[in-house]
Amino acid sequence: MEGRYSFEAVMARRAEIMKKAVGIDYEKFIIRGIAFDYEKMMKEVGYSIEEVKRIQSETCVGNTPLVELKNINRLIKKLAPKGKGARIFLKDEAANPSGSFKDRRASVSIYRAASLGYKGVIAATSGNYGAAVASQAAKKNLRCIIVQECFDNDWIGQPEILEKGRACEAYGAEVVQLTVGPELFYYTLVLLEETGYFNASLYTPYAIAGIETLGYEIAEQTQKLTGRFPDAVVVTHAGGGLITGTARGLKKAGATETKVIGASVDLRGLHMASTKDFNRKYFTTGHTGFGIPFAAYPDRADVPKNAARPLRYMDRYVLVTQGEVFYVTEMLAHLEGLQRGPAGNTSLAAAFSLAMEMDEDQIIVVNETEYTGAGKLPSAQLTFAKKMGMIIKRGDPLKEDKPGKVIAIPEHPSQIKHIEYPLEELKRSYLKELMRREGKTSFDETELNFLEEDLRLSREEVLKLIDEVKKALQA
């Protein structure tokens, strides 16, 4: 396109379009340079836990069951060393209206859109969030458009993404399906400008406030069932919102000692914006293609300042393979009678491995499940993977899995082993990205204070890391 709707022209208007579509003046939270007042933004623009509970109760969101995985826990006890083998509980978020925790996120955004008088909402997403936005919009009588990155350049779409698109349409949304690339953001901006609809972004304070009730409920329910807060909550990590909201909710409920562990599918080496790599991955979310970039540069989002800031809250980051998640999906169905997945089972696979190293009297909560369907089942994904030239085999995932080439499915549950990804590496990448983007190698007192908070490091640790990154960039 040329003129007003050329790619360059639309991108030049992005700040103006987004401000009108979200109803937040982000400039008021900027302090100086890279620093902004995160907590002020969350307090002034978001909602309290009590308000969110009320909003969500109106559309039957939240208050989902917390289930002990008794059969899986018995299996863990058989495999774990003596004295080890933590109990796993599962927060069954598939009980929400559209079948995932994303209803929590969408409920507050749609409530906000309706209260501000918008006639409709738009969301750019490949999956469950689109279904949640469409479902909540239907409850509030708002029109809904979902913009979905769906195909590679040969117009081949993954069964999981196509399944999610059908779910969006089932709730009455208009679904715009695109090929992988920068056109997703471009078309979203064009549609927001043309329609005047609300941008139901994943990354606003509204969306994060919606997830805080999830962490709050986990703390309350675990205490009620076991007499104490969980020792660890394992969270599938993609864009960072689920970790951020869950951790904030846990803290608000008083579970300040609970460790928050992020888990992603290991797809390192595949580029998510590449049409070549797009269909060589068989998880559309919850993988390193989102998890690492969004932790290292959270403000790559569709709003000026992302309310999802995972490095503020994550205590550990672990990776699991595609084959392990497929295996655990079947395990959950066969041993517990729960057909769920696949994204939520990323954190379950990690929890299964983590339980082996934790004491038998400790408690792990997996913070979400999601609905499943024909295109989301392991059978559909693995059949598609074979069609795309992948090798599917039984074997030890740690030794044989190769992202984009081989999916190795465990031969025995003892082969489920997480990979530790050093948080320091993510924090180093954050600083490297920041220094390159801003073209600066030193920061003033205000900016250093912000970095301490955003990276959850001491002043000494921040200065040491800045020095290391500076030397690496100059080398």
Residue 272 predicted with pLDDT over 80 = no
pLDDT for position 138: 97
Identify whether the C-beta of residue 191 lies closer than 8 Å to the C-beta of residue 147: yes
pLDDT for position 301: 86
Residue 211 predicted with pLDDT over 90 = yes
For the stretch 238-268, pLDDT in tens is: 999 999 999 999 999 999 999 999 999 999 9
The DSSP symbol for 81 reads P
pLDDT for position 2: 63
Provide the terminal-to-terminal Cα distance of the chain, rounded to the nearest Å: 42
pLDDT for position 452: 98
What proportions of the chain, in percent to the nearest 5, are helix, strand and coil?
A: 50, 15, 35
Identify whether the C-beta of residue 133 lies closer than 8 Å to the C-beta of residue 200: yes
Q: How many CA atoms lie within 13 A of 102 on its CB side?
A: 30
Across the range 155-162, mean pLDDT stands at 89
Average pLDDT of every residue of the chain: 94
Across the range 10-21, mean pLDDT stands at 87
pLDDT for position 223: 98
CA distance 11 to 56: 34
DSSP string, 237-269: -SSSHHHHHHHHHHHHTT-TT-EEEEEEE--TT
- % the chain with pLDDT above 70: 100
For 334-372, give one letter per residue: b (16+ CB within 10 A) or e: eebebbbbbbbbbbbbbbbbbbbebebebbbbbbbbbbb
pLDDT for position 279: 87
CA nearest to 382, candidates 371, 400, 394: 394
Q: How far is CA 171 from its chain centroid?
A: 22
In which element (H, E) is residue 210 found? helix 205-226
pLDDT for position 79: 97
Band of pLDDT at residue 150, cut at 50, 70 and 90: confident
Across the range 28-43, mean pLDDT stands at 94
pTM score of the predicted model: 0.95
Angle between helices 344-357 and 322-336 (to 10 degrees): 90
CA distance 403 to 322: 8
For the stretch 382-437, pLDDT in tens is: 999 999 999 999 999 999 999 999 999 999 999 999 999 999 999 999 999 999 99
Q: How far is CA 68 from its chain centroid?
A: 23
pLDDT for position 313: 98
Identify whether the C-beta of residue 24 lies closer than 8 Å to the C-beta of residue 204: yes
CA distance 214 to 226: 18
In 143-182, alpha helices (H): 159-170
For the stretch 50-95, pLDDT in tens is: 999 999 999 999 999 999 999 999 999 999 999 999 999 999 999 9
With a CB cutoff of 8 Å and minimum separation 6, the contacts of 355 are: 73, 76, 80, 84, 85, 86, 87, 88, 364
Identify whether the C-beta of residue 308 lies closer than 8 Å to the C-beta of residue 235: no
Identify whether the C-beta of residue 305 lies closer than 8 Å to the C-beta of residue 29: yes
**In this predicted structure, which of 177-181, 306-310, 452-456 has the lowest mean pLDDT?**
177-181
For the stretch 93-105, pLDDT in tens is: 999 999 999 999 9
Identify whether the C-beta of residue 36 lies closer than 8 Å to the C-beta of residue 305: yes
Identify whether the C-beta of residue 341 lies closer than 8 Å to the C-beta of residue 369: yes
Angle at 357 between CA 353 and CA 362, to 5 degrees: 100
pLDDT for position 1: 52
pLDDT for position 257: 98
